[in-house]
Amino acid sequence: MNEIWQDCLFPVMLGSGTVCHACVRQMSRRLGVESTVVTGRRALTLRFLPGVHLISAPPTLPDDILLNILTDINEESGLRVPLLVLCDAAYAGFVERNRKTLESRFILREGEGILKGESML
């Protein structure tokens, strides 16, 4: 079953706190899926987790730049389902302001919801 998720799911996490770490670990352990993490922090501990691709993009960047970064990441997804997971409140304003655009490119989810067992898709 994990092979199906590996071929179908492309998770992108916004933030690098404890919620993000837990989501990355859950994606890796439960589904065998690698994650891309967009963060403005020096996510040192994430560097040691296998299958994590870090993108430096702090939430203080202008919305158009963050949207361009996420568009570029989305293009890497190929035929996989792009899942954008909000893991840090610092990115919440960006997500709300750009919800319509993001929903046209990603399935939006909250990191805490995924950790509580809510559906990823």
Look at residue 121 and tell me if it is in a domain: no
In a domain, 73, yes or no: yes
119 located within any domain? no
CATH of the domain at 62: 3.40.50.720
Q: Is residue 61 part of a domain?
A: yes
pTM for this model (two decimals): 0.88
**What mean pLDDT do residues 74-100 have?**
93
Instruction: Give exposure, 9-37, as e/b (b: 16+ Cβ within 10 Å).
Output: bbbbbbbbbebbbebbebbbeebebbbbb
DSSP symbol at 69:
H
Residue numbers of the domain that contains 54: 2-114
Q: 100 in a domain, yes or no?
A: yes
Query: Is residue 39 situated within a structural domain?
Result: yes
| 85 found inside a domain | yes
Segment holding 40, helix H or strand E: none
Distance CA 50, CA 28 (A): 8
- The answer to whether residue 101 sits within a structural domain is yes
Q: What is the DSSP string of 55-68?
A: EE--TTS-HHHHHH
Distance from C-alpha of 74 to C-alpha of 60, rounded to nearest angstrom: 20
- In this prediction, residue 29 carries a pLDDT of 86
Number of CB atoms found within 10 A of residue 7's CB = 12
Going by pLDDT thresholds of 50, 70 and 90, the confidence category of residue 4 is low
Question: Number of folded domains in the chain?
Answer: 1
pLDDT in tens, 24-39: 988 888 888 899 999 9
pLDDT confidence bin for 2, thresholds 50/70/90 = very low
**Predicted local confidence at residue 101, as pLDDT:** 96
pLDDT digits (tens, 9 = 90+) for 43-79: 666 777 778 888 999 999 999 999 999 999 999 888 8
pLDDT of residue 23: 92
